[in-house]
Chain A
């Protein structure tokens, strides 16, 4: 399994491209143009701006503020809004119910989805309420198609415990890391010269323009830390190889050929830097991924919790024989929040269809990681990706992007999805029989395994915590992860 060759790049990036949520979308440009007019007036009114230049700034903010207030009042936590609409579409499955719950074109602001603010809040919006609902209605089928892959799934727990328990949660405290002294200490550990400068939410040592190494520590809940040394960049050559895959490898002179460091050497280099930076390396479990040709990835995972952690804490180092090419990690201190009651695995399965924990609902998203996705997803996303390929290849995407990935055929999505038909159809599908039941596949998932892990959650104020989560395993080899903290330990109130 190659982890850093061009093949690995292609698959992940290809799938990411194919997963484009806007694939196949066709916005109602006329309605949009009208909506712009509603904001700026007719352009040919004889003055440079819609309402006179000096008023433009206030007008902008009024509209933005009005819309923000209107939508905030109507739905509280933004995540719940999406959960309400999407979960209605996805979880309850029935097309008619879903459209009703999500607020079809007839409703303008009257449903939970569209927000409870009054039309009078914003002069810009009230002028054309029909515009908004027309535009929304026109894309409803697109929304349907996007969610078909995740929705219409029923989960059954098989042989799982029904006993609740308790588990430890952790908080992250970035305060000590976000100081001149600490950032300077890290810089020195890397041999980096210069005073830390705080600007735009980042502590930085080094400058991009100079082309030298740069250390950045972000003012966020995890004290995210990033370091790159362009002179040791192992990807430069890999990317050139990708641009010209047929070129004779001898003729490629990327001038910066890097060789992967040995695994032990790579770990030692990473530990040396962290120790000098004031981080206790014994707090982590250390491992490396299989070294590629140009670089070795070192991974340090905090030794907390019983099961696995997602990638928000810990460290990753990319090491070559030329040195440390890049670092990414969290400099925040991990501390215990104490023990929280945890639901049983059986109840966790029920949470998979609970809109409060459901897909796209405020960060507590169940994941399905089956290698063979449900057939619904495959068909749905393949169609969408085809539409995307046809629309995007000639459209707004930069020509550079197309040139950089010649390995991708224009039909980037369908080429990789194992769809049944390789050939275009020559005969029409058999028309439906009167009275026959309508096909309405609902995927059945049986969950028969569970494991307690830790999952990161971003709180309303930006702080980050690690909470117990159930990783659920189904009989098809898929996994689903959901927050395990019992209701009493959660604050569901609106932001």
Chain B
């Protein structure tokens, strides 16, 4: 059993066979698809999902044991950002860490029917939206949120509590008492 501190060892990678991938796919393909449904234009969602899962196969040596899904979300963020750059393909591993939430969704792309939620979200910063969506929609918290954000756990907790506070403020400003 590999430890949880970092990517799998070389021995672990060799053990990551077809069966490992099929299990990963069965467990998480739906989640990755939903991630993009929330953030990307509809007819890109399937492409983007397939790209992330293909990347998981190619980089299976790097997928951390027990943290596969947050790794997939983080990769999905990179894939989405790469998708948005104007025709300048960049190797996935060369994209900088998403510290400033650049890879989060533009509210223009969010498909949210609840207009009150839309307006409150649009009042927040890109970073707050990114954190809140990972928390509210992907259901991430604690270590998983930190892994998906690519930052330390303390930073993730602080980022989340800030984002929730600002959501609260934005919400209350738009709802009469």
Q: Which residues of A contact B (CB under 8 A)?
A: 1, 3-4, 8-9, 11-13, 15-22, 25, 27, 29, 31-33, 35-36, 38-40, 43-44, 48-50, 53, 56-57, 59-65, 67-69, 71-72, 78-79, 81-82, 85-86, 103, 113-114, 125, 132, 135-136, 139, 143, 146-150, 199-202, 208-209, 211, 214, 216, 218-220, 224, 226, 228, 230, 233, 235-236, 239, 289, 297, 299, 310-312, 316, 318, 326, 328, 360-363, 365, 367-371, 373, 377, 380-381, 384, 392, 395-398, 400-402, 404, 458, 495
Contacts and interface: CB of A to CB of B under 8 A. Distances in A.
B100 A27 contact: no
Given A27-B30, A148-B113, 7 more contacts: A32-B49, A68-B85, A85-B43, A146-B111, A209-B152, A380-B113, A392-B139
A252 B150 CA distance: 31
Contact of B154 (A21, A209, A218): A209
16 contacts: A8-B172, A12-B170, A53-B58, A60-B91, A65-B87, A65-B88, A68-B82, A82-B41, A85-B42, A132-B47, A297-B165, A311-B170, A363-B106, A397-B139, A398-B141, A401-B141
A233 B167 CA distance: 17
Contacts of A384: 113
A36 B89 contact: no
A214 B155 CA distance: 9
Contacts of B165: 4, 235, 297, 318, 326
Contact of A400 (B85, B142, B162, B170): B142
B69 interface: yes
A107 B30 CA distance: 25
Contact of A25 (B34, B87, B91): B34
B8 interface: no
A483 to B, nearest CB: 12
A137 B42 CA distance: 11
Nearest to A401: B139
B82 to A, nearest CB: 5
A262 B58 CA distance: 56
Contacts, number: 319
Contacts of A65: 87-89
B155 A369 contact: no
A78 B158 contact: no
A260 to B, nearest CB: 13
B165 to A, nearest CB: 6
Contact of B54 (A15, A36, A103, A367): A36
Contacts of B140: 398, 401
Contacts of A220: 100, 102, 126
Contacts of B4: none
Contacts of A361: 108
B110 A21 contact: yes
A361 B108 CA distance: 6
A380 B113 CA distance: 8
B175 to A, nearest CB: 7
A72 to B, nearest CB: 5
A237 to B, nearest CB: 11
B168 A9 contact: yes
A8 B86 contact: no
Contact of A16 (B29, B132, B169): B132
A313 to B, nearest CB: 11
Given A12-B120, A22-B34, A200 B99 contact: yes
Given A57-B91, A68-B89, A371-B175, A17 B137 contact: yes
Nearest to A42: B18
B99 A8 contact: no
Contact of B164 (A31, A40, A50, A235): A235
